[in-house]
Structure 1
Amino acid sequence: MGNAQKKFPGRGDGGPQTEDKPPSTAKKAQTKRGSSEKGSYQGANLAKDQGQVNEFQRNGSYAGDQTRPSSSGTDSSRPDVPVDSGALPPAIARLKSQGNELFKSGQFSEALLKYTQAINDFTEAEIDSPGDLSILFSNRAACFLKDGNCSDCIQDSTRALELQPFSVKPLLRRAMAYESLERYRQAYVDYKTVLQIDSGVQSANDSVNRITRLLRDQDGLSWREKLPEIPAVPLSAQQNRWEGTSANCEQTQQKAKESGGSKPVQDTGKKTEALFLSCKQEGNDFVKRGQYKDAHGKYTECLKLKSSECAIYTNRALCNLKLNQYEEAKQDCDSALQLEPSNMKAFYRRAMAHKGLQNYAYCMDDLKEVLRLDPKVAEAEKELQEAAELLSKQSVAPDSQEKQRETIQIQELTDAYEFGQALNAVKSKEDVAACAKLLCSVEPENLPSLMSNKLEVDNFTIIIQALDSHLLQKDPKLVYRHLVYLHEAERFKMVSLQLGKTEREQVKQLFDHLSKVESAQFTSDDVQNLAKHYLF
């Protein structure tokens, strides 16, 4: 905490800090706090990236915030109150309550003093209630954040997380402080951790999208490689969703009783969890018997009930591999890695999906990641060698590749799966000319359905390059028609938000070139109006 006990920021204006406590009291508080922070919580991992990044303990459970996360988001600006603060002596509980009231009235510096006194008294009393102490640190972090003292907000939020790992509010507060200090990588990690705990926290979703654009502009296409490790949130930390559902049901039952209702509302949270576990077990049993199609159906039912468990995605990916549904297997692995960025099964199974799609370079990348996580995986070593040989054969057979491209051009593609495979093939080779031929083989009005949910930044970028550098001179009308329909694809808006500075320049260049073309089918005004869908 540094000098947090000595100086407190002015209210809301980030102005001069003033001495608010007698020096002896401040010194004593600082000493006690320093000793407590060297206790049994030094197991938190540390990562280095533009300074010190505090990781969280991975074996704790989520509890202790005033409000549970919900689909409407979590208000990180409000002070936390424990579900049961019975462990607090009356004097400390009174200090905390006074701090809460001062915070609500906007008196952040005064609230900070109350929380600080409560923390000091709590430590001196040697109370064994880490959840209550975590909330006091989280509340004081909120005061620091309101007063613009981001460094102390980060330290208090980290202390709260050491005491009560994977609590949403201190994670959000620390993320906001990191973002204010332009430490975007650390902020991204905290926001992503929040979304693992509860994907419905809208402020975290918005912030991830915003920071993704900043990092792409700052670090280019390799921005993910420079991120600190995103901690994997254990299932126990996500159980608050089911508890929250159960609590809501109890409230609904009470309201039904008060209004004279005859039948109580069933506890849908427990029923949903039980149904989820049953479907998962049935899916596992089908896999053991080699009935992969039936298992696939059960895992799909699981995801409808609960979309936050990584193992369901990797299990369904295995089924997709066995059914030769390689693109679907890749998508499942992508979803799993969003939840657990270091999941070895997801990397290995995505590598097998890339192998099935003949994307051998991407296959090798994923296998290398598996071996980085565990160098002893002999199967990955064997597959890596085989992928390297296949890639070598692929690169020395240009004639066969050219024949394959000609086949694509001759026969119009109307199947989304085949189109996805062909697009992935040209993307993996970064073959813009082949992409142009692929675009010539499809009707523009079919493009949104052919893209389905497969539109990604890399796909979008190579399409724009193909339209500009290969098709514009030959057939500007076709380019215009493709652009008319491309923005109707399912993931277009999401991809547009993720474009970096370089990609946006390529899009702008394409529309600049197209606006200079004289055509009976479209005017420069038509092009400018169309550009608004792409350049917003």
Structure 2
Amino acid sequence: MLTNINTWQATMSAEIVNGLLNTEVINSSKIPVEHLDYDYIQKCTDVGYLEKILKVLRSGEEGIYPHLIDFCEKHVEKLNPRSRALRKDKPVASAASLPKDEWSQISEELESWETEMRAGEVQLKQLPLFGDEENVPPIRGSNCSVQSTSASGVKKNKNKAPCPRGYKDWDKFDVEKECAKVDEVVTNDSARTVISHSHPKIKTNLHTSVLTEQEKVVLANREKDKGNEAFKTGDYEEALAYYSRSLSILPTVAAYNNRAQAEIKLQNWHKALSDCQKVLELEPANAKGLLRRATVQKHLGNLQLAVDDVNAVLHIEPHNEIAKKLLNELSKKMAERVPEKPAKRQKMLIEEIEEEEEEKEHEARDGAVDSSSRQRAGGESCAAAATGEERGDMGNAQKKPHGRGDGGGGGRGGCSADKYTVTPPKGEEGARKGLANGNSAAHQAEKADRERAEQSKVNLDAPAGNLPPRLARLKNEGNHLFKNGQFGDAIGKYSQAIDGYTEAGVDSPEDLCILYSNRAACYLKDGNSSDCITDCTKSLELQPFSLKPLLRRAMAYESLERYRNAYVDYKTVLQIDIGIQAAHDSVNRITRMLIEQDGPEWREKLPEIPMVPLSAQQHRREEPPSAEEAQARAERATQEAARKAEARFTLFKSDGNEFVKKGRYEEAVGKYSECLKLKPNECAIYTNRALCFVKLDRFAEAKQDCDAALALEPENKKAFYRRALANKGLKDYLACSTDLQEVLRLDSSVAEAERELQEVTELLRQSLAAAASPGKARRSVPITEVDDTEEAATKKQDTTTEQNHVDQAKSIAITQPANAYEFGQALSVARSHDDTAACAELLRLVAPETLPSYVSTYLDGHTLAFIMQALDDHLLDKEPGLVYQHLNHLHTAERFSMLLMLLDKDKRRQMTQLFEHLSAVESEDFSQNDVQNLANKYI
């Protein structure tokens, strides 16, 4: 038993050892060389072993075998496509692995990026964030500063660092004694903390001339945020300083609003009012600015102006709780004012008026004022004061009420509030009822006093442009009422002035434009946007591109939610003066609304924005536009004109095609003619109109259109076919046959052309047969013998006849060509008869700038030499300037440079001779330098 166990242990040990050896061989990648063979690899299906073989092959220990490596990789991929052994490291990109152009581009971009980063770093280091170092503010929330140690303080140890102690010295070191010494020094000699109760002085103006716009925005926001933090902690003076710093960098609505709030907290009412006004100048509908201005007006005592601002806020934000609360406070204060003032005025009545004491006692008993006595004392001014006061409160609330001795009442014939005050109802309820009704005699009399005092300061008879005195007074009264907030009364004054302008026959469109614009402003304030738009439109008809009518009409459109029209007017305003911030803000606001309303294609639904001329652009008057801006503007105008012309061309063409389909050829001809006015070089339009002419039996016009089309496109088969039909209609069968053969040469599959060719061939045969029919008997020519003298005479006669024929052929009638086709026909006739005089006459009738386009199709070496000879022989002596102009344009023709290389010596000599003759001529149109420069392009 024990023997078997020992045998089993030995066997197992041997197997374990062999397994370990095999594992070691595999793990150590000791692959036999016999396995590095194509046959073995192909037969092996063990992916793990194949991966080890691939690793050995790639290592190069047994040699480099690229094909064997590829074979092994493909076999591994076939067995396991996701094998990790198939993954290869991609080499790092370098100059050798990339194209030269790509590598140079990468290098340049890296260098430019590095340069920009370095420049930005230098600018950030030089950025003066806080100005001078001495003005750097202390840490926020701390008014403490630590006094620096002086020379008399703790003495500094000027000795070198002490040497290290030994172990014996540390045994003798008294820790408690040394600690006591340190505490004594700190207690007696340390610097004391000084509490500074004064606010640190912060520099409110920063110099930002070296900063870019982006840096200014960042820095301004940073300073504003510091002010917000100081405001939250209750340090309003410090917040005020930081808001001022932000505004010195970049004025913004938010910074002005925040500074106004800080001024309100410090009770600087007039400064706060100034900041609120600036906010509303930048953004007229700013709710915060209106609300803060209302708060300031309340503390200044201008309750009615405060009410107006609060109502404007509630119109913008109907659910604003702060505005509602403030409106209730203002209503209570205005109600409390009513019962106090009549009592004072009643006392003044008793003291000043003695003659009417009995009458006043009677009035006091009855509790009312006799209306007849009021009319006697007050006259028309009292009646005026008693009417239309509901809107007058809007302007008069800002004036201080008259007190004792301010000249408001008591005058003769005036509407004295002290004489004719009525005792108001007793109690708070009666006071409120009197305020609500607005008919209190005391209230009316107070307003009348304020009006008279205000009118005494304003010269209503001041001249106003070219208006007569009566109309000028009406305009001034309207302006005064508008300033006081009495918009309804102002509308009446302006309307009287406008009606009187028409009756007076005044010729001053500027003044009438201002009257309409002012009345439109009243309508806008009164909420009548439709009439405002009407008056603004009339004003702009009198004075186009006026700034105020455009702005007012844009606001009226926006109030009516006609955002597209408002957008157009605001953009027109910005063309006139780009510095109007309110227009910029409105454009941004309306853009967001239009995007929500119309989607991404909102611009396509806008009306056309008019182009403002330079004379009307206010921001361009001081500084003329640069050449780049003028060129860009001209390019935009050209592109816009081209776009409009393209749209009209497409519309006319589609209409013409529709008329052709319906058989309305006359109307189609009109549409195609309109197309040719826009694009005279459109070949398809000529062929379409030629078809219409053929249908209308206007064959001559059809032929002209086909000739024009072939001059633009010499290979146009439609033009050939339709010219063939026109020639057929003109009974020119030979030309018709030629054109049809050209059509079949270009496209042999045109069946219509084959049928027409067969028909025309038959017609041509019939016409020739008719011409050769024996209608006339043949003339018999007798033959007789002649002697030498008669034969010589006959020869001479024949020569004379032949010369006459030549002279007759040379006398060619030349007319001005209308297109390239007619020019080519005339030039070919002149060349066939070798008539240089006719060629010169043809060149004289052709404009030099059109010569390249006319001659490009027919230009070859012989034609060029023929033109040069005609210029030299016939035109140079009479019109050298015309010769120079022709030569100056001729070299721009197509294929001219190629043609010069193919000229022989004789033709080059002829060209040189022409330029020599031209340089010898003295002319004001050109100089010898010009001729020499031109000759360099030919020779």
- TM-score calculated relative to the size of structure 1: 0.37
| Rg larger for | 2
Task: Choose between structure 1 and 2 for higher RCO, CA contacts under 8 A separated by at least 6 residues.
Answer: 1
- TM-score calculated relative to the size of structure 2: 0.23
